[in-house]
Amino acid sequence: MNSSPEGNRFLSKSQFFRGTRCSKAWKLFWSHSELKTSRLDSHDVFQIASKEISLKSRKLFPEGEEITGNTEQKISKTLQAVQNKIPIIYNAHFQRDKVLVSVDILKYEQGRWKLILVKSASKKKRKHIREVALQLNILKSNGLSISSASLLHVNTSYILEDKLDLDDFFTEIDLTELALNLQSKLDGKFISLNDTLNNQIPEVEIGTYCLQPHECEFKNHCWSAIPETSIFDLTRLATAKKVELYLKGITESQELPEDYPLSEYQKIQIHSEKTNTRFINEKAIEKFLKKLTFPLYFLDFEALQPVVPLFQGDNPFEFLPVQFSLHYLETEEGALQHKEFIAENNLDPRLGFATTLVNSIPENACILVYNVALEKKINKSLALRFPEMEKQLKTINSQLVDLIEPFNNKYIYDPKMKGKSSIKAILPVLVPEMEEAYKNLNIKNGMMAMGAFFNLQGNQDSNEKNKIRQDLLDYCKLDTLAMVKVWQYLNNLFPALTPQKTK
Ligand code: SF4
């Protein structure tokens, strides 16, 4: 083991598992953590949900002792609590060879310890088995006798009644046997870890492990030789195939052999990149634009998926619409107008959301959305919930037109889009004056918006609450303004095709 590391003092479980796929990552985490690109985000919605679930789970194992302090203190306090046979320990910290794990719940029963991993997940996943196995391994290496190891996850069929029933909300699955089966493999990984940390940085080619299950924090460093536009940007090609091509020496799509099987979309992208020109399929865009009529509306929803249901009758992870933005043009010459809705704190937003929505959109509107699935799904569920608005909500769904179509289907493609079709990828390419628009906002993407909504709950500071609400309004408004700008760009390609007023 490196005795004087310049980087991490401990490896987290995710760093350990990253290293089981790529030993270079172990060495870099340990001795060159300055090369990391941080993915941490204070609005991280997954972290917020995990924390909430972890705290809720403690009520099933009450009166435990929580381990606090810095990492070294947590490790020594945990060992002390174990020695004292504290019946329930929360947030217990253990290390083996500087790999650190924290155990949500540790329970002492009949001379042995039961470890419980708590996850805000809807079912057992392979990564949970690996995590429990690692915890079991490290606890055993610290001399604990383990009676069982289990996963506590969320029961998705739970329905909230008057108050949260934690026994019904959580599902516990015993993973002892599965975790025991992985022990010799894990012991082998610890041996490799020690070898790696005692040696030079290993030579490792880039691979699928750089991108899966999440992008590696050292990607910027290891991928610095990959050109700005590369084979990794090719649309609709599996990562494993991209890596395979790269390892054969193909770095850019243009270097693909003539006979390489390509879809029409991929051929368009490659041709556009080769010639460095914007591809425009005039016929297809013309056909798309002909579907649009005035009054023309641009709609975007924001929704939460709370792990713990907030309102009676709801399931965990049920979509809860909390905000919409609506830009609209009544006529071709008319001014661009705007309406919006945002949920009031702690109140069920669905009735207000649905009522405002149906009152804001006329029956003859043509409604552009970007990636229609969420809007359709939410309108359907609102229609079921409020039969009095079912007809209008169904009408709205029948009027939706997906503005992503020209980009998903490569009716238009610019090399700067890098194989992507999200609004945030195409907007700065087509409308360069909007390049900084999202960067200038406090909330820059949907995940941050969800995190901000969760942060609003229970926030008592009215100034802070007002600021977050304004940030949310600004973000959602920009999403629909971006759609207006993209539509205007397409429309300006064919001025003769200005949408017709519906009769
Ligand atoms: S970017 Fe890839 S090669 Fe580099 S450390 Fe991460 S997983 Fe390994």
Q: 140 C-alpha to center of ligand 1: Å? A: 30
Residue nearest to ligand 1 atom 2, measured at CA: 210
What is the reported pTM?
A: 0.89
Q: 179 C-alpha to center of ligand 1: Å? A: 27
Nearest by Cα to 444 from 459, 460, 427:
427
CB atoms within 10 A of CB 394: 13
Q: What is the pLDDT of residue 233?
A: 95
Cβ 206 under 6 angstroms from ligand 1: yes
CA atoms within 13 A on the CB side of 315: 10
**Residues 6+ positions from 220 with CB-CB distance below 8 Å:** 35, 37
Cβ 416 under 6 angstroms from ligand 1: no
Q: What is the atom index within ligand 1 of the atom nearest the CA of 28?
A: 5
Q: 244 C-alpha to center of ligand 1: Å? A: 16
Q: 126 C-alpha to center of ligand 1: Å? A: 22
CATH class of 13-196: alpha beta
CB atoms within 10 A of CB 268: 19
- Residue 398, Ramachandran bin (φ over 0: left; ψ between -120 and 50: alpha; else beta): alpha
Render 124-180 in DSSP notation, one character per residue: --HHHHHHHHHHHHHHHHTTPPEEEEEEEEE-TT----SS--HHHHEEEEE-HHHHH
Q: 206 C-alpha to center of ligand 1: Å? A: 6
Tokens of 462: 């009215």
Q: What is the pLDDT of residue 81?
A: 98
Q: Which amino acid, 432?
A: P
Q: What is the atom index within ligand 1 of the atom nearest the CA of 209?
A: 7
Bond prior to 321 in cis (omega within 30° of 0): no
Residue nearest to ligand 1 atom 5, measured at CA: 25
Q: What is the atom index within ligand 1 of the atom nearest the CA of 205?
A: 3
Q: What is the atom index within ligand 1 of the atom nearest the CA of 21?
A: 7
Cβ 180 under 6 angstroms from ligand 1: no
CA atoms within 13 A on the CB side of 360: 21
Q: 134 C-alpha to center of ligand 1: Å? A: 22
- Residue holding tokens 């993915």? 39
Instruction: Give the helix/strand (H/E) hosting 381.
Output: helix 373-385
Cβ 216 under 6 angstroms from ligand 1: yes
User: Sheet harboring 99-109: ordered strands across?
Assistant: 65-66, 88-96, 99-109, 112-118, 146-154, 170-174
CA distance 368 to 441: 23
Residue nearest to ligand 1 atom 1, measured at CA: 219
Nearest by Cα to 21 from 239, 212, 241, 248:
212
Q: What is the pLDDT of residue 43?
A: 45
Cβ 28 under 6 angstroms from ligand 1: yes
Radius of gyration of the chain (CA): 27
Nearest by Cα to 252 from 239, 234, 237:
234
Contact 389, 355 (CB under 8 A): yes
Nearest by Cα to 321 from 337, 336, 335, 341:
341
Q: 5 C-alpha to center of ligand 1: Å? A: 19
Q: 151 C-alpha to center of ligand 1: Å? A: 30
Q: What is the pLDDT of residue 1?
A: 40
Residue nearest to ligand 1 atom 4, measured at CA: 222
Cβ 36 under 6 angstroms from ligand 1: no
- Residue holding tokens 């609209």? 328
Q: Extract the residue ranges of the chain whose pLDDT is less than 70.
A: 1-8, 39-44, 495-503
CA distance 363 to 399: 9
Between strands 400-402 and 366-369, the pairing is parallel
Cβ 219 under 6 angstroms from ligand 1: yes
Q: 331 C-alpha to center of ligand 1: Å? A: 53
CA distance 78 to 113: 13
**Residues 6+ positions from 105 with CB-CB distance below 8 Å:** 57, 58, 61, 64, 88, 89, 90, 115, 116, 118, 152
Q: 159 C-alpha to center of ligand 1: Å? A: 43
CA atoms within 13 A on the CB side of 88: 13
Q: 271 C-alpha to center of ligand 1: Å? A: 31
Q: What is the pLDDT of residue 4?
A: 38
The fold for domain 284-501 equals: Nucleotidyltransferase; domain 5 (3.30.420)
Domain extents in the chain: 13-196, 226-277, 284-501
Q: Please provide residue 337's backbone torsions phi and psi, each rounded to the nearest 5 degrees.
A: -120, 165
* Strand, coil or helix: 16: helix
Residue 312 is given by DSSP the state T
Tokens of 294: 């005035």
Cβ 243 under 6 angstroms from ligand 1: no
